[in-house]
Amino acid sequence: MTDIAALEKRLQALEDINAIKELKARYLRACDLQQPDAVRDCLKPEGAVIAYEGFPPFHDRDSFVDVFRTMGCQSGIYDIHHGANPEISLTGPDSAAGKWSLYFQNINLAQRTVMQMGVEYDDDYVRQDGRWWIARTATKRTSCILQTVDEKGQVTLVSLGEPPAAFGEAPAQAAEG
């Protein structure tokens, strides 16, 4: 391989990794802004797999977006998804794998709760029709702080450490106590 060809290959790899980082940023921002069509547009059109801990697995983007629209796109729901520490590996000319750390915060006015979670993403990406898509995304929740806020603004710590079995529920130790 010539020096120019090697440089072109390295440049393409950097451009691909940057495009994947931008894709993930668009996805996280669309989640925060309650934009289900933008969320949908980040996921592979056919056969996307979404396996988020605390939710049932989804094997297509439309069924996932329907649940997102129902649960996450409501007035009084405020989410913050801050993705960090990306590790992107190109696994082929049109495929890649990625790991991300996520700081997630959910404010639910109806339930009067504030939840903060640490989450680890494990993603696969594919390039089709000249653009990158999220083909598979899975999460593991690593930590959780769940608080309730009463009508006077008094904060009560419900859980510290373990995430709930299902998103939106109280953690097991809180339910038992």
pLDDT at 169: 62
What is the average per-residue pLDDT within 163-176?
57
Mean pLDDT, residues 144-165 taken together = 89
Q: What is the pLDDT of residue 111?
A: 92
For residue 19, pLDDT beyond 70: yes
Q: What percent of the chain has pLDDT over 70?
A: 92
- How large is the average pLDDT for residues 15-26? 98
pLDDT tens by residue, 25-68: 999 999 999 999 999 999 999 999 999 998 899 999 999 999 99
Secondary structure, 3-state, the chain:
CCHHHHHHHHHHHHHHHHHHHHHHHHHHHHHHCCCHHHHHCCECCCCCEEEECCCCCECCHHHHHHHHHHHHCCCCEEEEEEEEEEEEEEEECCEEEEEEEEEEEEEECCCCEEEEEEEEEEEEEEEECCEEEEEEEEEEEEEEEEEEECCCCCEEEEEEECCCCCCCCCCHHHHHC
Cβ(34)–Cβ(22) under 8 Å? no
What is the pLDDT confidence band of residue 175, given thresholds at 50, 70 and 90?
Answer: very low
